[in-house]
């Protein structure tokens, strides 16, 4: 009951701030409302069922169909700025891959923070599943010029990455003895917040015929429907909702699922404010039209 009252209060605050926005034409009221709607569900959580989209299901099925102990390349192509959307995807992917005993090779095309994020997330997940570095997973880290990196790895990985992220030569890492180029990789799981996805598709998928599945930020997702439609991309996670759907599929409700309450409320608030704005716009136009003496 208390929760219901709290949400009724939230709606009243939202309507009031929207009214102030219309009245004063000051966009800061709308910013304040968005802030409140984002924060609120973290204090009083909303349990909303997540429905799995066909694109997420396709990615899950592709990973599920891999034979156990397959080698998967997982990329951390995102800056710390997009962590809330992308890190849950990486975590969910690692849950799935480690559970299937896949050998995981990670890399990043992001210089600032990319190597640290991939190292931290992978080690944390490996600990949960009792995986050992160099046997079950390897972090290649970052190398400059992503186009050259992506192309070069098609020939020989250790020309591009002579050492792993911590400086150990690849020849000394047991797992890498059998992984020389893309031909030794069964699936590529790209998690990205930028246009690098295009290169994974046009260079790696198109030229080396490796299945590529992607997790991208919500704003990028519509563009990549083109690759899904043409059958080039094997599954797509769109933003935090995509991550929440994947969490549901692997049965590990985590950060993305928790974020669904905030995302739902803010979306609904924006829809409401756009509709309210249009209603006011309509009446104002009508009023102006009537004042001008109607149709001439």
Partner 1 sequence: MFQNKVTIFITLIILLLSQSLFAVDTTENSNLTITDSTTADSVIIQPVAGVENLENTADNDIPAFRSERLNALIFMLLFSVVILLYTRWARSGKELFLRKINGLDEVEEAVGRATEMGKPVLFVPGLQEIDEMETIAGISILGRVAHITARYGTPLHVPVRYPMVLAAGQEVVQQAYIEEGKADSYDVDMVRYVAGEQFAYTATINGYMMREKPATNLYMGAFFAESLLLAETGNAAGSIQIAGTAQPAQLPFFIAACDYTLMGEELYAASAYLSREPLLLGGLKGQDWIKLLLIILIITGIILASFNSAEWYLNLFESV
Partner 2 sequence: MVVSFFFRAEGSFLGRIEPEILSWVTIVGGFTLLLGVVSIVRVNYTAVKRKADGWGYKLATLISVFVIAIPAMLPTGWSDQFGRGDGSIYKWLFNYLDAPMMATMFAMLAFYIASAAFRAFRARNAEATLLLITAIIVMLWRVPMGEEFLLSIHPDIPGWINTYIMGGANLAVQRGIIIGAALGAAAMALRIMLGIERTYMGK
> Residues interacting with partner 1, by CB under 8 A?
27, 79, 81-82, 111-112, 145, 147, 154-156, 159, 180-184, 193-195, 206-210, 217, 219-220, 222-223
In sequence order, what are the residues at sequence separation of 6 or more whose Cβ sits closer than 8 angstroms to the Cβ of residue 135? 174, 175
Q: If you count them, how many residues does the chain have?
A: 296
Among 204, 241, 243, 247, binds partner 2 (CB under 8 A): 241
Cα 186–chain centre separation: 22
Say whether 130 sits in a helix, a strand or coil: coil
Q: How far is the CB of 194 from partner 1 (least distance, A)?
A: 5
Q: Interface with partner 2 includes 38 (CB under 8 A)?
A: yes
Say whether 97 sits in a helix, a strand or coil: helix
In sequence order, what are the residues at sequence separation of 6 or more whose Cβ sits closer than 8 angstroms to the Cβ of residue 6? 40, 44
- The tokens describing 275, both together, are 């509709």
Q: How far is the CB of 220 from partner 1 (least distance, A)?
A: 5
Q: Interface with partner 2 includes 206 (CB under 8 A)?
A: no
Q: Which stretch binds partner 2 (CB under 8 A): 8-16, 183-191, 278-286, 288-296?
A: 278-286
Closest-CA residue to 141 (of 123, 175, 174, 117): 117
- The tokens describing 128, both together, are 């949960």
x/- binding map, residues 75-104, to partner 2, per CB under 8 A? ----xxxxxx--------------------
Distance, CA of 120 to CA of 113 (rounded, Å) = 10
Distance, CA of 103 to CA of 99 (rounded, Å) = 11
If the CB atoms of residues 21 and 122 are measured against partner 2, the closer one turns out to be: 21
If the CB atoms of residues 85 and 119 are measured against partner 1, the closer one turns out to be: 85
Q: How far is the CB of 10 from partner 1 (least distance, A)?
A: 25
Q: How far is the CB of 34 from partner 1 (least distance, A)?
A: 13
* Angle in degrees, CA 149, 150, 154, rounded to 5: 105
3-state SS string over 151-212?
HHCCCCHHHHCCECCCCCEHHHCHHHHHCCCHHHCCEEEEEECCCHHHHHHHHHHHHHCCCE
Out of partner 1, partner 2, none, what residue 34 binds, judged by CB under 5 to 8 A for its kind, is partner 2
Q: Interface with partner 2 includes 39 (CB under 8 A)?
A: no
- The tokens describing 35, both together, are 């802030």
Q: How far is the CB of 102 from partner 2 (least distance, A)?
A: 25
Q: Which stretch binds partner 2 (CB under 8 A): 61-69, 73-81, 100-108, 168-176?
A: 73-81
Q: Interface with partner 2 includes 58 (CB under 8 A)?
A: no
Q: Interface with partner 2 includes 51 (CB under 8 A)?
A: yes
The answer to whether 90 and 72 have CB atoms below 8 angstroms apart is no
Distance, CA of 73 to CA of 104 (rounded, Å) = 6
Q: Which stretch binds partner 2 (CB under 8 A): 68-76, 128-136, 171-179, 237-245?
A: 237-245
Binding positions for partner 2, rule: CB under 8 A: 21, 27, 30-31, 33-35, 38, 46, 48-51, 53-54, 79-84, 112-113, 115-116, 143-145, 147-149, 151-152, 155-156, 159-160, 166, 207, 218, 222-223, 225-226, 228-229, 238-239, 241, 244, 260, 263-271, 273-275, 277-278, 281-282
């Amino acid at each position: 009951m208390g929760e219901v009252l709290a949400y009724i209060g939230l709606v009243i605050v939202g309507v009031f701030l929207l009214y102030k926005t219309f009245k004063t034409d000051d966009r800061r009221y709308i910013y304040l409302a968005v802030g409140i709607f984002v924060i609120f569900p973290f204090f009083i959580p909303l349990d909303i069922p997540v429905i799995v989209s066909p694109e997420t299901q396709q990615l899950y099925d592709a990973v599920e169909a891999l034979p156990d102990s397959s080698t998967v390349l997982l990329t951390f192509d995102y800056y710390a700025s997009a962590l809330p959307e992308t890190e849950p995807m990486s975590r969910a992917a690692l849950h799935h891959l480690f559970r299937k005993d896949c050998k995981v090779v990670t890399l990043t095309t992001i210089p600032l923070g990319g190597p640290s994020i991939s190292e931290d997330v992978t080690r944390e997940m490996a600990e949960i599943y009792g995986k050992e570095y160099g046997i079950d997973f390897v972090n290649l880290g970052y190398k400059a010029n992503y186009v050259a990196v992506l192309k070069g790895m098609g020939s020989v990985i250790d020309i591009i990455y002579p050492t792993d992220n911590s400086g150990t030569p690849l020849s000394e890492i047991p797992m890498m003895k059998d992984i020389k180029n893309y031909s030794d990789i069964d699936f590529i799981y790209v998690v990205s917040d930028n246009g690098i996805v295009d290169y994974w598709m046009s260079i790696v998928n198109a030229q080396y015929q490796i299945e590529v599945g992607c997790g991208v930020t919500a704003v990028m997702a519509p563009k990549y429907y083109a690759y899904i439609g043409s059958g080039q991309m094997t599954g797509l996670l769109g933003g935090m909702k995509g991550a929440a759907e994947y969490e549901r599929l692997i049965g590990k409700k985590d950060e993305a699922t928790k974020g669904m309450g905030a995302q739902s409320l803010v979306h609904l608030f924006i829809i409401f404010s756009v509709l309210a704005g249009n209603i006011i716009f309509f009446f104002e136009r009508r009023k102006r039209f009537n004042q001008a003496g109607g149709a001439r």
